[in-house]
Amino acid sequence: MDRLAHSVAEIQLYFILTPCPACGLTALRPRGPFDAADAPGGRTIVRAACARCLREYPDGFVVSPQPMGVVGEVMFNATTQPSELIDVVGWIALYRTIVEQAWQETDKRSARRLAWEAGLCLDEALKFYPRGERFPISEGFFTPESRARFQSFRGQFDREMVLHHRRQAPNLTAEERRSEAGEARGGWWKFWQKHIEPRMGWQPDHG
């Protein structure tokens, strides 16, 4: 089954959150180069496999329109629609993960960029909140685990709390994003330089 993604960056973040269904490790990577020929309308197909057990991930990912200028110009989702890959719990978890990496980063410019990317994750989380409502829509929790986390830590999902953290994140100008494209190549985007090719003759087994 092919799943809709709004960008290659969104798929990258989904892989950071998602364990391999075969071995349980969080080690999914793109399988081979992006293939724009398999999908109509100039869309891009991304296939994945596990970097540890080499099992192929059962779902493919369709990015429409074809991503351009990914490095240095991070855009998870240019639409107003919420993600179909990552739920509100996932986006908030990603925010915390990236902020923690920013705290550990010794280079101030790289740390600032990571903090900016963390803020973008909260922008995506807020797309699950109806206008004027304090909490996300029920459809914003994709799994029983996500719903259970919401019930246990409801205060973390209060809109005002999310907005408070969003205000702490820096905003980069277009000029700053272009000037720091080199740092992007050395950070999160290294992920996409590692492509997985499963063993010859290997047959998918997701049981």
91/99 Cα distance (integer angstroms): 12
128/118 Cα distance (integer angstroms): 17
Question: What is the predicted pLDDT for the residue at 153?
Answer: 95
Torsion angle in degrees (nearest 10) through CA of 113, 76, 123, 189: -20
| Cα 168 → chain centroid | 20
Interval 106-160: pLDDT, tens: 988 888 888 999 999 999 999 999 999 999 999 999 999 999 999 999 999 999 9
Residue 140 token pair: 């914003």
192 vs 101, residue with greater confidence: 101
Q: By C-alpha distance, which of 90, 117, 121, 93 is closest to 105?
A: 117
Per domain, the residue ranges of the chain are 2-68, 88-180
Burial class (CB in 10 A: 0-12, 13-18, 19+), 123: middle
Look at residue 162 and tell me whether its pLDDT is greater than 50.
Answer: yes
53/49 Cα distance (integer angstroms): 8
